Amino acid sequence: MTDVNADDRLVTDLPAFRAAVREFLASPAVDKWRGTYLDDDPEEMRFTAGLMRVLYDAGFGRYGLPAMAGGLGGDVRHWAVLFDELARAGITPTGQHSLLVTLAYPLVKFAPRLAAAYLPEFLSGDGWWGQGFSEPEAGSDLAALRCRAVRHGDEYVISGHKIWTSHAETANRIFLLARTGTTESRHRGLSMILVDVAMPGVTVRPIKLASGRSELAECFFDDVRVPADRLIGNEGQGWAVAMYLLQYERAAWAWLRAAVLLQRLRALIGFLPDSAAPAQASGPTADEMLGSVYLDLLSLRARSVDTVRRLAAGQTVGPEASADKLLLGACEHGVYDAARSLLGPRFLFGDASRQWREEWWYSRTTTVYGGSAEVQRSIIADRVLKLPKE
């Protein structure tokens, strides 16, 4: 582990942390990752692992997690600041970052020994993990999972099939939610286990998306033997771990994506001619369209900042975080639909707009993955607004 001492001032003073990060990101040390885009996901993950290492060695990629896990102290707000400043500097937060802020905190809380052993590799870019939750017949209804983990002495034997696992093609471990109880036990019979992809019996098959990228994969587990000490929390506590994780997926992930979307909105404005006509003569002007998208992003930020602050204060974020997910999906669609409308034929043809096309395709999934928009609306109606049942 690189010997970088924590600066107590940067732990407690977020404006000072922001200023220090901004100064570092203005240096040539990160020029290699400024304004880059790779259309191959494995290649991109290996490329951005270098950025993780640079940030780690400088210390800025370690704030937000405790020292026992390879961090330098602070909380989830430090990651929010880092994501803002990366995007401001023309550097897109990495795929590793999106997984890290979701998976690190539940590991620290439920399995501190595993956090101490394995999170430093994640922070430094030496490895990263996939999130193995969804299955072909269990997406939004995770309580219906069928991938099984059976205890045999000091090992769990895992058999089953996962799908839509992010970055599994290049990940070295998978944060796996498996069934250790009966099918009838539903969410009470689930456990979380950290599984090495290199273990015998693990097969990963990339899924090529409509955009052409293969960010997701399906994973097969054929009697994979995993040490029992890789259990995260207690046996049968997997649902509690997943719900704790979900808070960070809703908060930190939404903040990261909002930073990226603001970056892409600025890029879109710079990509347009001095006067951009609407797609249809009767449609909104470019200024109206861009202004509407910007206001949506501000609404997302206003909502997310409360969620991030509550997590930093150690408070539990409940079903109201579904609003963050809904707003994020609307913003993802809004930014890329604006690009499609305002760029006109340039959106459809030529290498200059390839990134816009690929990101537009991916944005279509954002109201489905991680809990569909319909499910989020139902959660808000039932558990936040407490509307009468139909």
**Torsion-angle region of residue 371: left (phi > 0), alpha (psi -120 to 50) or beta?**
left
Cross-strand partners of 194: 175
> Helical H runs in 59-94?
76-88
Residue 307 has pLDDT above 50, yes or no: yes
The span from the first CA to the last CA of the chain, in angstroms, equals 56
Asked whether residue 276 carries a pLDDT value surpassing 60, the answer given is: no
Q: Binning pLDDT at 50, 70 and 90, where does residue 369 land? A: confident
Mean pLDDT of 319-324: 89
CA 370 to chain centre: 10
Secondary-structure class of domain 240-384 per CATH: mainly alpha
Element (H, E) at 108: helix 95-110
Task: List pLDDT tens digits, range 328-363.
Answer: 999 999 999 999 999 988 899 888 889 999 999 989
Q: What pLDDT is recorded for position 148? A: 97
pLDDT at 274: 61
Q: Is 306 exposed, middle or buried (0-12, 13-18, 19+ CB in 10 A)?
A: middle
Q: Answer yes or no: is pLDDT of 278 > 70.
A: no
Q: Where in the chain is the domain with CATH 2.40.110.10?
A: 131-235
State the chain's mean pLDDT as an integer. Answer: 92
As annotated, the residues of the chain forming the CATH 1.10.540.10 domain(s) are 8-127
C-alpha span between 87 and 268 (Å, rounded): 14
Q: Report the range of poorest mean pLDDT among 68-72, 260-264, 366-370.
A: 366-370
Residues sharing a CB contact under 8 Å with residue 84, sequence separation 6 or more, in sequence order: 18, 259
Q: What is the pLDDT of residues 197-252, one digit of tens each?
A: 999 999 999 998 887 888 999 999 999 999 999 999 999 999 999 999 999 988 88
Cα–Cα distance, 141 to 376 (Å, whole number): 12
- Mean pLDDT over 287-309 rounds to 94
pLDDT value of residue 318: 85
Q: How many CB atoms lie within 10 A of CB 3?
A: 5
Given this model, what pLDDT does residue 332 score? 96
* pTM score of the predicted model: 0.92
* Rounded Cα distance, 21 and 40, in Å: 28
Question: Which ranges in the chain are annotated with CATH 1.20.140.10?
Answer: 240-384
User: So what's the pLDDT on residue 117?
Assistant: 98
Residue 281 banded pLDDT, cuts 50, 70, 90? very low
- Can you identify the CATH homologous superfamily of domain 131-235? Butyryl-CoA Dehydrogenase, subunit A, domain 2 (2.40.110.10)
Query: 331 and 293 in contact (C-beta within 8 Å)?
Result: yes
Burial group, residue 388, by CB count within 10 angstroms (0-12, 13-18, 19+): exposed
Q: Is the pLDDT of residue 2 over 50?
A: no
Q: Please check the confidence at residue 312 and state whether its pLDDT lies above 90.
A: yes
Average pLDDT value for residue range 176-201 = 95
Instruction: Report the distance separating Cα 23 and Cα 30, nearest Å.
Output: 11
The CATH superfamily assigned to 8-127 is: Acyl-CoA dehydrogenase/oxidase, N-terminal domain (1.10.540.10)
Contact 70, 6 (CB under 8 A): no
